[in-house]
Structure 1
Amino acid sequence: MTAPESPAAQLVAVQALAAALGGIRVSTQIPEKRPKEHVVVSRIGSAKPEFGTSMPRFLVEVYGPTALATEVLAERVHAEWLGLRSHGVNTTTSDWNLAPFDAPDPDHVRFQFTGGLQIMMQAAS
């Protein structure tokens, strides 16, 4: 019997969050052609796994056009993150540190937070 494998955690996070946000672009990199609002998810580590799960940790960056609009969007993204229960996500965590950070370009405002996912392991093929 082969041990279960960890799924591609960034792919799981992007797909689950994109489905929850319905229409907001979610990716692992800043898009070349940047939409007004978008989310970038980056893996920043992991926590000790529990039986049959992977416990990756993420930085979630939320970009928007103004400070107020981006804060509102970031609160929505955070709430959706906490409710993710699809794509193999069993539960979520947050470090409750949603805050503004300087954006890499002058046309966007950035808010970000860190958190984790508990993802069910997959049977090896």
Structure 2
Amino acid sequence: MKKLIIVLVILAIGGFLGYKYLYQSHRNIEEEKASFELEAISLVKEFSDDMEQASKKYLNKTIIVKGELTEIESNSLMLANATYCTFDTNHNISNANLNSVYSVKGRCIGYDELLEVVKLDQASIVK
């Protein structure tokens, strides 16, 4: 009987910890302080020169990337043909703003070797 109670307690604790791990609160990237601020071209150069080192430095970090707006979609932007930024909601930037310089804050989720772009998610425009 004691063994059964101990096993149930261990399972309950394990289940609780597993639940907390899976359903932890989401980061609010827009309110986080950026770890780095750099140009879109510089960021891509770091990844193309040494992807392993750049990944250790930037991956899953909140960063601000600045560059010329080269592509606009309903919920994403491309800066300097080098950094692809995805927004959780549609942004309100029009095609009239192409070639303007923007700063975007987001979480670095990696480098796409095929397209040679760095990807950010949970992006927001820095005013």
- The question of a shared fold, defined as TM-score above 0.5 by the shorter chain, is answered with no
Q: TM-score per shorter chain, which class?
A: under 0.3
Flag the structure with more relative contact order, 1 or 2, with Cα contacts below 8 A and sequence separation at least 6. 1
With structure 2 as the length reference, what TM-score do the two structures score? Answer: 0.24
TM-score w.r.t. structure 1 length? 0.24
Q: Identify the structure with the greater helix proportion.
A: 2
Query: Which is higher, the Rg of structure 1 or of structure 2?
Result: 2
